[in-house]
Structure 1
Amino acid sequence: MLLLAPDKLAPVNADSPPPRAPAASLEDFLRQVEARAFRFAEINLRQREDALDAVQDAMLKMLGYRDRPAQEWPPLFWSILRNRITDMQRRALFRLRWLLPDTDGRDGETIDWADAGPDPARHHADREAWTQIVTALRRLPARQREAFTLRVLEELDVADTARIMGCSEGSVKTHLSRAREALQRHLEALR
């Protein structure tokens, strides 16, 4: 399978956006999207293992759509992944928490994607910045977080985002506007 092991994830470089060249095959597309999909899933599920499972399930399901035109792959993949995340979140809600308490303390675990380059101060600053962004994203309502992630981080257009989220284009714009305002307020307060 294409999914990288957690310790093999590509480092996040805040200075340059990830390359988004058109994929020649479904495998190329999945290789290009895997790290971003993992980050999206981990932000929503808050567990590395669950995020890996969700992305891998979405990738497996995409294999059934390999005959579709390449321009349909991004919205289709993000719809599949979003639905898988929603399913996993619903399943978690039905767990009997009083019988199986979640006491492993992983909910506040930091994410170690920053480049471990030669400058420890920069490495620490990058990790802190990412942690603050993830915290701010997690505080957003789910629909705002989805709209922001799909429109801003994944650079999907409004129509594709609306199709993935199952709402109107106007709703996407409203959710995105509210998300940007909330993120700006939260991140300004941290300065």
Structure 2
Amino acid sequence: MATEKELSDFLKSVEKRAFKRSIYHVRDEEAALDIVQDSMMKLAEHYGDKPADELPMLFQRILSNCTLDWFRRQKTRRALFSNLSDFEAPDDDGEFDLLGNFRSPADSRETESAEDTTRRAQIFHAIEEEVAALPARQREAFLMRYWEEMDVAETAAAMGCSEGSVKTHCSRAVHALGKALKAKGISL
């Protein structure tokens, strides 16, 4: 059984990654914050009595379900109201740092040239754009596997699909990212 401190520490440790994952899906900061907050509340209310080692998987599944619920609500609103512009997500003109845990250009070493710093920033931005452009299930699998560092079984459980589907989604995402980045002249 997770203690209140363990639950609180867990939620603090996942909040930024959960927000970034949500924003890639819904492309609306306020909606992403609501989804993450709702997911955290559901975890605390319904699963706070579970062992601490079960919390990551439970939270990922809750976050996925809350995101799907948001899309369902948006679809219903669009069907009910004729003025769709009130409910469409805004254009993605903000920068969302997929690689936020890595050194940013502002934190670059003194020995690094301005050209290297600029090039790194351009590569990070291109990667973020291409990840955001992936189909939803590929993006979800890719982010869970390579950003959240979940294994195939954990990702499959969180996404509610088979391990084979996770492998397929990840493979397609990696190939699509590689092809898109190569087309932009970026080789990693």
Where on the TM-score scale, by shorter chain, does this alignment land: which range? 0.7 to 0.9
| Unmatched segments (≥5 aa) in structure 2 | 109-113
Asked if structure 2 preserves the Cα contact closer than 8 Å seen for 1:162 and 1:169, the reply is: yes
Confirm whether residue 54 of structure 1 aligns to residue 48 of structure 2: no
Asked if structure 2 preserves the Cα contact closer than 8 Å seen for 1:112 and 1:127, the reply is: no
TM-score (structure 1 length as normaliser): 0.77
Cα distance change on mapping 1:112 and 1:100 into 2, 3 Å: same
Aligned twin of 1:100? 84
Task: Find the aligned partners of 1:69 and 1:105 in 2 and give their Cα distance.
Answer: 37
Q: Give the superposed CA RMSD.
A: 2.6
Aligned twin of 1:31? 12
Aligned twin of 2:142? 148
Q: Could you tell me which of 47, 55, 63 is aligned with 1:81?
A: 63
Task: Find the aligned partners of 1:107 and 1:25 in 2 and give their Cα distance.
Answer: 38
Q: What is the letter of the counterpart of residue 57 of structure 1? A: D
Which of the pair has more CA radius of gyration?
Answer: 2
Task: Find the aligned partners of 1:105 and 1:129 in 2 and give their Cα distance.
Answer: 26
Q: Which has the higher helix share?
A: 2
Asked if structure 1 preserves the Cα contact closer than 8 Å seen for 2:105 and 2:121, the reply is: no
Q: What is the letter of the counterpart of residue 131 of structure 2? A: L
Deviation at 1:132, TM superposition (A): 2.0
Task: Find the aligned partners of 2:159 and 2:84 in 1 and give their Cα distance.
Answer: 32
Asked if structure 2 preserves the Cα contact closer than 8 Å seen for 1:110 and 1:131, the reply is: no
TM-score (structure 2 length as normaliser): 0.78
Asked if structure 1 preserves the Cα contact closer than 8 Å seen for 2:43 and 2:59, the reply is: yes
| Unmatched segments (≥5 aa) in structure 1 | 1-23
Q: How does 1:3-22 map onto structure 2 within 5 Å?
A: none
Q: When the two structures are aligned, how many residues end up with a matched partner?
A: 168
Task: Find the aligned partners of 2:32 and 2:6 in 1 and give their Cα distance.
Answer: 24
Task: Find the aligned partners of 1:84 and 1:53 in 2 and give their Cα distance.
Answer: 9
Q: Residue by residue, what CA displacement relative to the aligned partner does 1:129-178 show, whole Å, maximum 9, x if unpaired?
A: 44322321222121111110111100111111111111111111111111
Q: What is the letter of the counterpart of residue 25 of structure 2? A: N
Q: Residue by residue, what CA displacement relative to the aligned partner does 1:76-120 show, whole Å, maximum 9, x if unpaired?
A: 101101111111112222333741315998322122656583778
Deviates further, 53-62 or 133-142 = 133-142
Deviation at 1:126, TM superposition (A): 5.6
Q: What is the letter of the counterpart of residue 19 of structure 2? A: F
Task: Find the aligned partners of 2:127 and 2:15 in 1 and give their Cα distance.
Answer: 20
> Alignment identity in percent?
43
Asked if structure 1 preserves the Cα contact closer than 8 Å seen for 2:77 and 2:87, the reply is: no
Task: Find the aligned partners of 1:55 and 1:103 in 2 and give their Cα distance.
Answer: 19
